[in-house]
Amino acid sequence: MEKEFSMMVIGSVSCENGFAVRINKDYREGLKGLGDFSHVKILWIFDQIQWDGKTLVVPPPYRTLDHDIGLFATRSPFRPNPIAVSTSRILSVDEEEGLIVLDWIDAEDQSPVVDIKPYHPSEDRIAGVQMPDWCAHWPQSREESGEFDWESEFTFG
């Protein structure tokens, strides 16, 4: 059963002078207390991607993968609902200006933001994660990921 619904855009990503999320004036009050957290989960929209709406199995996007893979087993932006989730370290929060300054985010400049959630280790961190053999050598944390040679992993780009 398919059901459609709408979401409100609460802000946008800024990648001009570093990385930030700019929250629309109507939602800035919701930033109260966010600056007490070290990290934040940002739900944003892949609004600059065109998808045919039908392709659910893709050729291997990773060099160590030797078979086709389902879309939901990838982090591809081509999705039935173009929703992305990024976890970023908060550098500062300006509640009045509606600005969350981040260390990094893997979004395009002006990508619409639809929600923000504080990162909670009790909910968001998983011990004993199982990964397929083709990606088991990937970094085990976001911090380690910065030093990893991601370009050598992908078959595109």
- The 8-class DSSP code of residue 145 comes to H
pLDDT of residue 157: 66
What separation, in Å, do the N-terminal and C-terminal C-alpha atoms of the chain show?
Answer: 36
Question: What are the beta bridge partners of residue 74?
Answer: none
Give residue 25's pLDDT band: very low, low, confident or very high (50, 70, 90): very high
In CATH, the architecture of 11-152 is Beta Barrel (2.40)
Residue 14 CB neighbour total at 10 angstroms: 20
pLDDT tens readout for residues 27-73: 999 999 999 999 999 999 999 988 888 899 999 999 999 999 999 99
130: helix, strand or coil: coil
Residue pair 60/69 in contact by the 8 Å Cβ criterion? yes
Percentage above 90 pLDDT, the chain = 79
Asked whether residue 92 carries a pLDDT value surpassing 70, the answer given is yes
For residue 144, count other CB atoms closer than 10 A to its CB: 10
Name the residue type at position 153.
E
Give a three-class secondary structure readout of 35-51. HHCCEEEEEEECCCCCC
- Domains in the chain: boundaries: 11-152
Predicted TM-score (pTM) of this structure: 0.90
pLDDT (average), residues 70-87: 92
Mean pLDDT across 133-144: 92
